[in-house]
Amino acid sequence: MEKIVYALSRKSSESTDVFARRLLSELAERFIGRHAVRLAVAVHDADVAPADRLRIIHRRPAIDAVVSLWVNSSNDHSRIETQLCDYAGTVEGYLVTESEVLQGPESGGPGERTPGMMQIAFLRIPEGLSHERWFSIWRDDHTQVAIQTQSTFVYRQNLVVRPLTVGATDCAAIVEEAFPVEAMTSQHAFYDAVGADDKLERNRQRMFDSSMRFVDLAKIDVLPASEYVW
């Protein structure tokens, strides 16, 4: 089993609502049982509009949705990309290995929305840092910092094996984290420090200091999204 992650930008002629609606109403029928055994669509829609301040955009055009597919083989990935181009202005694909550090609640049914907000970050390795050292800081050390300082209840770490589409933006890892709905507008909720200002400052500073060791903040892309799983 292999996992493919696609970063999609909507067509300039299409509204955000129409883009999201088409993805959610059509992709499962096109892919499940044909190209994929599992599908997840994470899209920046009205339900996560309160989290707009958390969105970070460096690549252009900006990422509007992330489509993940679990496939028996990625050999025919070009067929998937051809179909995704029916929906998006740009499609950038990555073959990844997934580590599910925190598993969320079981889905209640095909296409059900994951509670709260899914935050997806596309990471690049800072200049001067070797891949081995970067990986060690991220996976061996930072993982526990992230869990201890945030209110995440889903935490997936996707290490990029290779890009699948020509011209895909450089990317070393794709991180998926689910937060409670309150975290969209409250830093206290985001950093698991409701009602505790001191804890908020400690957690926020600890998370920032840890991230600065392996994240290139000048090139990171972060998408708050609603996630739906089939």
Question: Model pTM?
Answer: 0.96
pLDDT tens for residues 75-95? 989 999 999 999 999 999 999
* Residue-level pLDDT at 34: 87
Question: Which band of pLDDT confidence, cut at 50, 70 and 90, is reported for residue 2?
Answer: very high
Say yes or no to pLDDT of 108 above 80: no
Look at residue 5 and give its three-state secondary structure: strand
- What is the pLDDT averaged over residues 155-177? 98
The CA-based angle 16-86-13, given to 5 degrees, is: 40
Q: What is the CATH number of the domain that holds 209?
A: 3.30.70.100
Range of the domain at 123: 2-229
* CA-closest candidate to residue 28, choices 1, 68, 64, 65: 68
pLDDT in tens, 31-48: 998 889 999 999 999 999
- Angstrom distances, CA of residue 196 to CA of 150, 189, 204: 13, 10, 12
Give me the percent of the chain exceeding a pLDDT of 90: 95
Length of the chain as a residue count: 230
222 to 2, 56, 58, 68, 150: CA distances (angstroms): 24, 5, 9, 16, 16
- Looking at residue 190, its pLDDT comes to 98
Domain count, the chain: 1
Supply the angle between the helices 77-84 and 16-31 in degrees, to the nearest 10: 150
Asked if pLDDT for residue 106 goes beyond 80, the answer is: no
CA dist 160 and 169 (Å) reads 12
Would the pLDDT of 144 be above 90?
Answer: yes
Quick one: average pLDDT of 146-171?
98
Contact (CB, 8 A) for 203 and 192: yes
Kindly indicate the confidence band of residue 105, based on its pLDDT and cuts at 50, 70 and 90.
Answer: confident
